[in-house]
């Protein structure tokens, strides 16, 4: 008798709630009409660029070394590396200072190419990784507050447009870094104030700045670390490790302004997956070492 009564109560409860859900769906579902389709154009290169917001203040508050803090750059690279690990549709990324660009496959259908979904998830992954791995690079410097990154999506219809975009971002590294290196050298070694240094560099060209560094401070700008002068490129390669080809993400500081880079990495622009020129023969960086150690740990487990 009790089982029969319980069964009726359950059936009544389920039928009543089903009716409520059905009514709610039919009466409230109209709000979905206010959503707009933000699917990106097909067959175009998707570039997502993230930029630090108020990063000058963030850098000052955390005592970043001027003009370049290697710890900060490595943290940016590591955060970008975690993004590439998460999303295989990202073929290439490039970072400098407080910005990072991510290039998705031309035929990518990630999140159905929905603009808001792509931008928010990749920005969220990058930003959260920056905070999560802060102590990995700033062991003795507490994070006072989380950084903020804004983002945008730009579509490029052809390979030439994409290549020119990447060249533009790397050319920007050289212009900014040469200026900043000279500016801070005048302040830190030349004892000028920021206003005086800015006035000294007003109207100068690249040759003038190189001359100031060399003649007054015995600095050859060409000897500055490549990561400062060119930024960092992240791309996918194969590495022969213990007689096994291992697919990895590599961080390099190659010159994208020259055609040689694009000829050697022509597979990046190919819609079809290719193994051409995928073998990596460069030095073992911290990011590569991180992947190899995890690979070894996986084999031992």
| pLDDT > 80? residue 184 | yes
| pLDDT > 70? residue 251 | yes
- Cis check: omega of the bond before 201, within 30 degrees of 0: no
Provide, rounded to the nearest whole percent, the portion of the chain with pLDDT above 90: 77
Feature table: binding site: 51-56, 97-98
In 86-225, at which residue ranges do the beta strands (DSSP E only) sit?
90-96, 99-104, 149-156
Q: What is the mean pLDDT of residues 214-235?
A: 97
Q: How many CB atoms lie within 10 A of CB 90?
A: 24
- This prediction's pTM: 0.88
| pLDDT > 80? residue 253 | yes
21: confidence class by pLDDT, cuts 50, 70, 90: low
Feature table: binding site for Mg(2+): 51-52, 98
Taking only the tens place, the pLDDT of each residue in 63-111 is 999 999 999 999 999 999 999 999 999 999 999 999 999 999 999 999 9
Q: What is the pLDDT of residue 62?
A: 98
Contact call for residues 130 and 76 (beta carbons, < 8 A): yes
| pLDDT > 70? residue 273 | no
Q: What is the pLDDT of residue 242?
A: 83
Taking only the tens place, the pLDDT of each residue in 157-173 is 999 999 999 999 999 99
114: confidence class by pLDDT, cuts 50, 70, 90: very high
Feature table: binding site for GTP: 51-56, 97-98
Contact call for residues 277 and 264 (beta carbons, < 8 A): yes
Q: What is the pLDDT of residue 97?
A: 96
Contact call for residues 232 and 95 (beta carbons, < 8 A): yes
Q: How many CB atoms lie within 10 A of CB 65?
A: 11
Q: What is the mean pLDDT of residues 254-273?
A: 89
Give the position of tokens 């990154």: 149
Enumerate residues 6+ apart whose C-beta is below 8 A from 188: 66
Spans of all domains in the chain: 175-226, 231-300
């Amino acid at each position: 008798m009790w089982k029969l009564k319980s069964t009726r109560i359950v059936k009544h409860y389920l039928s009543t709630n089903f009716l409520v859900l059905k009514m709610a769906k039919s009466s409230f579902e109209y709000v979905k009409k206010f959503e707009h389709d933000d699917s990106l154009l097909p067959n175009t290169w998707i570039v997502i660029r993230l930029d630090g917001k108020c990063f000058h203040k963030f850098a000052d508050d955390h005592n970043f070394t001027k003009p370049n803090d290697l710890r900060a750059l490595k943290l940016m690279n590591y955060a970008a590396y975690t993004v590439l690990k998460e999303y295989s549709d990202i073929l290439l990324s490039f970072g400098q200072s407080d910005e990072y660009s991510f290039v998705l496959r031309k035929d990518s259908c990630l999140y159905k190419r929905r603009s808001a979904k792509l931008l928010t998830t990749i920005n969220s992954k990058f930003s959260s990784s920056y905070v999560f791995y802060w102590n990995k690079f700033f062991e003795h410097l507490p994070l006072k507050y989380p950084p903020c990154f804004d983002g945008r999506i730009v579509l490029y219809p052809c390979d030439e447009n994409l290549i020119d975009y990447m060249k533009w971002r790397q050319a920007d590294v050289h212009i900014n870094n040469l200026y900043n290196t000279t500016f801070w050298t005048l302040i830190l070694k030349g004892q000028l104030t920021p206003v005086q240094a800015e006035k000294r560099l007003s109207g100068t060209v690249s040759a003038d700045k190189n001359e100031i560094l060399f003649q007054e401070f015995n600095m050859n700008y060409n000897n500055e670390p490549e990561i400062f002068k060119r930024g960092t490129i992240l791309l996918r390669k194969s590495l022969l490790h213990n007689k096994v080809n291992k697919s990895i993400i590599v961080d390099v500081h190659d010159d994208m302004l020259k055609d040689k880079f694009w000829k050697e990495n022509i597979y990046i622009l190919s819609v079809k997956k290719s193994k051409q020129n995928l073998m990596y023969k460069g030095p073992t960086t911290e990011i590569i070492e991180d992947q190899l150690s995890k690979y070894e740990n996986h084999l031992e487990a």
